[in-house]
Amino acid sequence: MRAPFAVTSLIREGLDKLIPYDAHLYPGVIKLDANENPYPFPEEVSRRIGQLAAGDLLSRYPDSEASELRRAIAAYAGVTPEQVMVGNGSDELILNILLTFGTEGRVLITNPTFSMYKIHSLVAGARPIPVPRRSDFSVDVPALVCYARQPESRVIFICSPNNPTGNASTLEEIESVLQQVSCLVVVDQAYLEFGGEDCVSLLNRYPNLVIMRTFSKAFALAGLRVGYMLANPDVLRQIKKVKQPFNLNSFSQAAARVVLEYRDLFRKQIQDILQQREELWQGLQNIEGVTAYPSVANYILFRTNHESKAIYQGLLEKGILIRRLGGPELPGFLRVSVGTPEENRPFLQALAEVLKQAGRELQ
Ligand SMILES: *Cc1c(COP(=O)(O)O)cnc(C)c1O
């Protein structure tokens, strides 16, 4: 007699409680939920990328070293190709870092922040430890150092500019952490092209620093999944042990190179996004009952006095998708990505209406 099949009895501890990352698709909405580049993809670049899809690029396995792309990234970031590793989005790199260094250890996460650090910690069998940021969302460096000195602390994640709060850590703060800990310090700079200080200057002095970046945000390539990290070659050699050999497909490797060639076209879009961020910020300030937080990235965190779920739903009913945060750390908080003027205006108008409606229902 066999015992009845019970799927949950086969799942290891940690994975049983994990809630999978849910990314719903809502066709036809104004999409301000994922911090993507909202502008039309430059036609010339799109044509060049389209021409790539032929011959060996399709029929042969990709270059597992991504040599040409790594050379292009190195030139762009101001490092050597040996200091670069590419991934299927930086999401894959987060997982690979944790599979290499995190499993059975403690991972310190400066909350509130990007949710994938915790999710991938659980996937990798590591223990995520929240280290709360201060009320202004800056990193509590002394607390972080204190946690880092406890046994089995292996990896620290600092997102800068931080998603979803929009503030950046200073170079001094990052360096202060690096000076005082011997864990791996991962600084996620997915939004660096919009603001915050570049940490590359610290790379040669601190062998425990890992910088993560992506093509998904400023460079408008979220659909092709290209992320990269900059680190000491000794660290990358260890991570290579867990990396899938063909993790980044040939088409994405080639497309990312083209995007870097045309980076001046994207610079112009980034300038426009920064301009729109200021207008969106002003617009939020002008709506009664909204508290918005300063941002150096391409999204803005804000709060109302109503439940975030009600505001989120109200906006969705008007065809506008933003990000709902909530939870014990960010009660009533929401995040909106900076869109084009044609997207930001209807969002602001809809938000004002939804708030008015919610106010009436309270009376
Ligand atoms: C969007 C985002 C990423 C994910 O980037 P991909 O390269 O698309 O996987 C990483 N970190 C932060 C903080 C992000 O907001």
Contacts of residue 235, Cβ cutoff 8 Å, sequence gap at least 6: 184, 207, 208, 210
Ligand 1, from 69, 90, 210: best to mutate by most atoms within 8 Å of Cβ?
90
How far is 363 from 351, CA to CA, in rounded Å? 19
CA 286 / ligand 1 centre spacing (Å): 30
CA 106 / ligand 1 centre spacing (Å): 22
Ligand 1, from 216, 221, 224, 337: best to mutate by most atoms within 8 Å of Cβ?
216
Is CATH 3.30.2320.30 what the domain over 7-40+264-362 is classified as, yes or no?
no
**The CATH number of domain 54-262, selected from 3.30.930.10, 3.40.50.970, 3.10.20.30, 3.40.640.10:** 3.40.640.10
* 14 has pLDDT over 90: no
CA 176 / ligand 1 centre spacing (Å): 25
pLDDT digit string, tens, across residues 265-305? 999 999 999 999 999 999 999 999 999 999 999 999 999 99
Categorize the per-residue pLDDT at 24 as very low, low, confident or very high, splitting at 50, 70 and 90. Answer: confident
pLDDT of residue 19: 85
* 363 has pLDDT over 70: no
How far is 216 from 202, CA to CA, in rounded Å? 24
* 218 has pLDDT over 80: yes
* 233 has pLDDT over 90: yes
Task: Please identify, by atom number, the ligand 1 atom nearest to the C-alpha of residue 162.
Answer: 13
CA 209 / ligand 1 centre spacing (Å): 18
One-letter amino acid at 57 equals L
Which 3 state secondary structure label does DSSP give 234?
helix
Chain position carrying tokens 């002008």: 286
How far is 187 from 174, CA to CA, in rounded Å? 8
CA 215 / ligand 1 centre spacing (Å): 9
CA 306 / ligand 1 centre spacing (Å): 29
Q: Which residues line ligand 1 (CB under 6 A)?
A: 35, 89-91, 114, 159, 163, 188, 190, 214, 216, 222, 227
Chain position carrying tokens 């006095």: 305
Which 3 state secondary structure label does DSSP give 288?
coil
How far is 190 from 89, CA to CA, in rounded Å? 10
What is the average per-residue pLDDT within 225-237? Answer: 98
Ligand 1, from 217, 229, 323: best to mutate by most atoms within 8 Å of Cβ?
217
pLDDT of residue 2: 87
Task: Please identify, by atom number, the ligand 1 atom nearest to the C-alpha of residue 216.
Answer: 8
CA 273 / ligand 1 centre spacing (Å): 18
Q: What is the pTM of this model?
A: 0.96
- CA 54 to each of CA 51, 58, 256, 274, 319: distance values in angstroms, whole numbers, following the listed order: 7, 6, 16, 37, 38
* 21 has pLDDT over 70: yes
Q: Which residues pair with 301 in a beta bridge?
A: 335
pLDDT digit string, tens, across residues 316-352? 999 999 999 977 888 899 999 999 999 999 999 999 9
What is the average per-residue pLDDT within 212-231? Answer: 98
Domain extents in the chain: 7-40+264-362, 54-262
- 302's enclosing H/E stretch is strand 299-304
pLDDT digit string, tens, across residues 115-174? 999 999 999 999 999 999 999 999 999 999 999 999 999 999 999 999 999 999 999 999
pLDDT of residue 288: 94
